[in-house]
Copies of this chain bind each other. A is one copy, B any other.
């Protein structure tokens, strides 16, 4: 690919990502993407033979941008590993609140709009979510014994994403940041309680009564998710 082709490709991906986020994938016409990217149909179809291929290009770009655009600024601004979780959420608030959360989460929207009937896109959406959670998990790992010994840090990282996506949806539905802030506040309580339990654990030692209670309520070793759901079903 020549430098000019690469530049055209970038402009097309920028315009497509912006338009998909603003108005959705299905509602966005190729003509609008071309006009906003200042490109012609020939150069588009040269790099992206179909609208589906363009969507995959946009999702691959989100995978690439996760580190430099989303996570590195948080890591540079905040050293405390648990503080980073909340700095990340605060960053999304800054991005999304200027227009009342009306555009929602760019990946979340695409997940809902196109996830069902495009297998390649679904894999890339999953990869975006998984990579996001994996960075949060690395922070939770770095928090060491500030979280209870039995804490499943992968699941806790996934939960941060779950809360964020739910909070963005409700903020968008209400046209206000209030549900987002309320969701973050509850997540903070949860982290506060986990840290309290870890503190008790460190005070009383791993064999202490409090420690075993903490592991029971915050960890997962004795209660895999499958068991839980099947237990409830019966």
Contact = CB atoms under 8 A, between A and B. Distances in A.
Nearest to A103: B116
B169 A126 contact: no
A173 B129 contact: yes
Contacts of A104: 112
Contacts of A111: 169-170, 172-173
B166 A126 contact: no
Interface of A: 86-87, 90, 93-94, 102, 104, 108-109, 111-112, 115-116, 122, 125-126, 129, 155-156, 158-159, 161-167, 169-170, 172-175, 177-179, 181-186, 188-190, 192-194, 196-197, 213, 216-218, 220, 223, 225-226, 228-229, 232-233
Given A90-B232, A112-B172, A162-B179, 17 more contacts: A93-B229, A111-B169, A115-B172, A115-B175, A126-B174, A129-B170, A158-B179, A158-B186, A159-B163, A161-B170, A166-B166, A181-B228, A188-B228, A189-B190, A189-B218, A193-B196, A196-B197
28 contacts: A94-B233, A104-B112, A108-B169, A109-B112, A111-B173, A112-B112, A112-B169, A112-B172, A122-B173, A129-B170, A158-B179, A159-B183, A161-B166, A162-B163, A162-B170, A162-B179, A162-B182, A162-B183, A163-B166, A165-B165, A165-B170, A166-B167, A177-B229, A178-B225, A181-B228, A185-B228, A196-B213, A196-B217
